[in-house]
Structure 1
Amino acid sequence: MTYPHWHTVPLRWKDNDVYGHVNNVVHYSLMDTVINTWLVERGGLDVAAGPVIGLCVESHCAYHASVSFPDSLRIGLRVAHLGRSSVRYEIGMYSATGALVAEGHFVHVFVDRENRRPVPVSGKLRESLEELLVTA
């Protein structure tokens, strides 16, 4: 799989559950973090006070292998679809050895902060998402 952006995240002791591996909720948190880090740093999204926010309307994660602290994950990010007001991200999570740990998708709809109605993805935000766009 091709991912235009990669982000390495060290796992934390608290990410392990009682079974000794990273709990499934951590995978979702990492997807959300990698996406929003991109949006803030590259897209100029102001999550605290900007007029536009992204709402998650769909997410999915398929698990392929176990991983645990003190490992780290290399997380690949791409955009599979960029619409007028929505975007579908695809994420791949790989262990330090290169094994696929999990893969998922995450859909944002960008809305006006006040009225929560969809708004066009435009300007710097759209440009940053186009950088991640991978077409089949």
Structure 2
Amino acid sequence: MTHFPINLANLSQLTIGRFPFTTCITTRWMDNDMYGHVNNVNYYSYFDTAINEFLIKKANFNPLNSEQIGFIVKSSCEFIHPISYPGSLIVGVAIKRVGNSSVDYVAAIFDANETLCATGELTHVFVERISQKPQAIDEELREVILNYQG
């Protein structure tokens, strides 16, 4: 898999093809706010859904039974173009950095016409499920994640 580093400073060159993992999300009626567009809190939900779908589908991560789970400890979003219900979205995910117990993701939301609507950066810290203390990322999971660096 060959992908080039994703530079959020140059959004004019950011396309869906730059992301090694993509998934489709449909907006819901309840996502709209009183101004007729998707409320900002939902963008974070779209990012979180796409990242977890990536981990489940590509890394065989089982969030219900895994001994190790990931907590989002840091997130940011830059809103570029409004979206609303009804709408079909494409969310791209790439890995920016892999640490000992953490992963930094870059994500972007595109509308059905592939217009860039938002970008995000999120950090997962992987912890042992019961103690909830950080621990080194499982080697099998790490190997898969490294293949999706942006």
Q: Which runs of 5+ in 1 are unaligned?
A: none
The secondary structure found in structure 2 opposite 1:27 is helix
**Aligned-partner Cα distance in 1 for 2:25–2:65:** 27
Aligned to 1:10: 26
Q: How does 1:1-136 map to 2 (within 5 A)?
A: 1=14, 2-134=18-150
Query: CA-atom RMSD, angstroms?
Result: 1.2
Amino acid at match of 2:104: R
Q: Which runs of 5+ in 2 are unaligned?
A: 1-13
Residues 44 and 124, structure 1, Cα contact 8 Å, conserved in 2: no
**Aligned-partner Cα distance in 2 for 1:52–1:122:** 8
**Aligned-partner Cα distance in 2 for 1:131–1:73:** 24
Residues 74 and 95, structure 1, Cα contact 8 Å, conserved in 2: yes
**Aligned-partner Cα distance in 2 for 1:47–1:99:** 31
TM-aligned CA deviation for residue 114 of structure 1: 1.4
Tell me the TM-score normalized by structure 1: 0.92
TM-aligned CA deviation for residue 128 of structure 1: 2.1
The secondary structure found in structure 1 opposite 2:132 is coil
TM-aligned CA deviation for residue 120 of structure 1: 1.2
Following TM superposition, the consecutive aligned residue runs of length 4 or more in structure 1 with deviations greater than 4 angstroms are none
Tell me the TM-score normalized by structure 2: 0.84
TM-aligned CA deviation for residue 51 of structure 1: 1.0
Greater shift after overlay, 58-67 or 114-123?
114-123
**Aligned-partner Cα distance in 2 for 1:32–1:39:** 11
**Aligned-partner Cα distance in 1 for 2:64–2:71:** 14
**Aligned-partner Cα distance in 1 for 2:109–2:62:** 26
